[in-house]
Copies of this chain bind each other. A is one copy, B any other.
Amino acid sequence: MKLLDIFGALKKDMDVIEQQLYLSIEGDEELLSETSLHLLKAGGKRLRPVFVLLGGKFGDYDLNKLQHVAVPLELIHSASLVHDDVIDDAGTRRGKPTVKAKWDNKIAMYTGDFIYAKALMMATALENPELHRILAKAMVQMSIGEMEQIRDFFNTDQSVRNYLLRIRRKTALLIAISCQLGALAADAPSSVHHRLYRYGYNVGMAFQIRDDLLDLLGTEKTIGKPPGSDMRQGNITLPVIYALQEEGWRAPLLAELEQIRAAGLTADTSPAINMIRRSEGIRRSEELADRFIAKAFDALDGLPECKAKSHLKEIALFVNKRSY
């Protein structure tokens, strides 16, 4: 699915972004071009570039400028996925083998480094130190989030707060600054950036919660990788944390998680998933996602009525749609 199916308005500009995305990493070194393009060409929702362009609609919309924000943000996201797949020992992503599976961990590591650096190089073509600073800060937070994720693998004592802090860094911040930097690059007033940042942050939180739900409730066909992958890697997500809080489910679920940990990447996660389904974990996670979406709508409230604002609302609803 492509978010673009919701609205055709940005199609032409998104085609330019798509082309620039490929051009930005082509041509330097053959192997790096190939490994870097591998994941990008597997598709993806291009959520971050869409947010940049929509953010730009609240100011002086100039695609030549905005592409220097939209492309870097998608590249940063892409680089983080390439590194993520190394950590997760993931074999497939978006239905295709990962860089680490098709080549190896080391090549995946440098592919990520290269894509990160290319992203920054493209962004620094804009003479806007504030924008550079916001990007660099977000990258720091993302890498902390990734480390927290490793640190918390199979930590069954983590709190909801813990989880939320982690997905904030891992996912929500980059989406928040996508909305913000679009407006910033288009010289929109700072009150607009702030609202868009808040919108993006809340949509990002809901997005990650839905993504984590999908990993438990989806099928290999709908999510492009086997369900239960998070659990197999030791990534304890919100529905699991909620289920572990229930007295009746805590002990049997802990036992299952221990078995999964022992069995490793070939573990059968269906007994654990069934327990979580029967607990309140799914419903409570969905409710929390709903609350973030409500906050995202609130953040939009003070913004002028325009097409972009409607689109942002549509995306928020889309992100929060059950797709399992």
A67-102 residues with Cβ-Cβ distance < 8 A to B are: 83, 86-87
Which chain B positions have C-beta within 8 A of A125? 133
Chain B proximity mask over A96-134: 1 for CB below 8 Å, otherwise 0: 000000000111011111101110110111111100110
Q: Is the CB of B109 within 8 A of A86?
A: yes
Number of copies of chain A assembled together = 2
Q: Is the CB of B142 within 8 A of A117?
A: yes
Q: What separation, in Å, do the CA atoms of A124 and B132 have in the docked complex?
A: 6
A114 with B136: in contact, given A109-B86, A109-B109 (CB under 8 Å)? no
Which chain B positions have C-beta within 8 A of A47? none
Q: Is the CB of A83 within 8 A of B110?
A: yes
Q: Is the CB of A143 within 8 A of B83?
A: no
| A144 contact from B28, B109, B147, Cβ within 8 A | B28
A137 on the interface (CB 8 Å rule)? yes
22 contacts between A and B (CB under 8 A): A28-B144, A29-B144, A29-B151, A32-B147, A83-B109, A86-B106, A86-B109, A87-B106, A109-B112, A110-B143, A110-B147, A110-B150, A112-B113, A113-B143, A114-B140, A114-B144, A117-B139, A121-B140, A124-B129, A125-B133, A126-B129, A129-B129
A18 on the interface (CB 8 Å rule)? no
Q: Is the CB of B133 within 8 A of A117?
A: no
Which chain B positions have C-beta within 8 A of A127? 129
Q: Which residue numbers of A lie inside 8 Å of B, CB to CB?
A: 28-29, 31-32, 83, 86-87, 105-107, 109-114, 116-118, 120-121, 123-129, 132-133, 135-137, 139-140, 142-144, 146-148, 150-151
Q: What separation, in Å, do the CA atoms of A114 and B109 have in the docked complex?
A: 13
Q: What separation, in Å, do the CA atoms of A272 and B245 have in the docked complex?
A: 62
Min distance, Cβ A44 to any Cβ of chain B, angstroms: 20
Closest 5 CB pairs of A and B: A117-B139, A120-B136, A124-B133, A114-B143, A121-B136
Chain B residue at minimum C-beta to C-beta distance from A35: B147
Q: What separation, in Å, do the CA atoms of A140 and B135 have in the docked complex?
A: 16
Chain B residue at minimum C-beta to C-beta distance from A151: B31
Q: What separation, in Å, do the CA atoms of A105 and B135 have in the docked complex?
A: 26
Min distance, Cβ A46 to any Cβ of chain B, angstroms: 22
A113 with B148: in contact, given A28-B140, A87-B106 (CB under 8 Å)? no
Min distance, Cβ A12 to any Cβ of chain B, angstroms: 29
Q: What separation, in Å, do the CA atoms of A124 and B143 have in the docked complex?
A: 17
A121 with B133: in contact, given A31-B147, A114-B143, A143-B114 (CB under 8 Å)? yes
Which chain B positions have C-beta within 8 A of A105? 86, 105
